[in-house]
Amino acid sequence: QKEVEQNSGPLSVPEGAIASLNCTYSDRGSQSFFWYRQYSGKSPELIMSIYSNGDKEDGRFTAQLNKASQYVSLLIRDSQPSDSATYLCAVNRGDSSNTGKLIFGQGTTLQVKP
């Protein structure tokens, strides 16, 4: 079992729809959760961070965390073609030394069709 798992996709949604991206993690001690967006050939760009159970909203993006289910998701409302990218879920395991080391999933490719 991978430490952080994502469906590689592609996930295809029409423009204006809600895109839902999911991520599961294996370490129950994980404390910090991040979503990065990565356009082809570019580096990851941080779009959301979440640390507590529940929802966190930022513009068109909502991150959802459920530590009991070891599940984190990202919702993108009113999807635009410019949202087409790979979305990476990253988890910090909260080790005692608190290095901040991130464990990434393989990413989900999102395609938003006009």
Partner 1 sequence: DTGVSQDPRHKITKRGQNVTFRCDPISEHNRLYWYRQTLGQGPEFLTYFQNEAQLEKSRLLSDRFSAERPKGSFSTLEIQRTEQGDSAMYLCASSLGPRTGPVYEQYFGPGTRLTVT
Enumerate residues 80-109 that contact partner 1 by CB under 8 A.
Answer: 88, 90, 92, 97-107
# residues near partner 1 by CB under 8 A: 27
Distance, in Å, from the CA atom of 56 to the CA atom of 60, rounded to the nearest integer, reads: 11
34 binds partner 1 (CB under 8 A): yes
Distance, in Å, from the CA atom of 65 to the CA atom of 89, rounded to the nearest integer, reads: 12
23 binds partner 1 (CB under 8 A): no
Distance, in Å, from the CA atom of 32 to the CA atom of 93, rounded to the nearest integer, reads: 7
Residue 68 Cβ vs partner 1, minimum distance, rounded to whole Å: 18
**CA-based nearest residue to 105, from 14, 51, 15, 30:** 30
1 binds partner 1 (CB under 8 A): no
Q: Which listed residue (20, 32, 70, 111) binds partner 1 by CB under 8 A? A: 32
Query: In degrees rounded to 5, what are phi and psi of residue 52?
Result: -120, 155
Q: Which residues sit at the interface with partner 1, rule CB under 8 A?
A: 4, 8, 31-32, 34, 36, 42-46, 49, 51, 88, 90, 92, 97-107
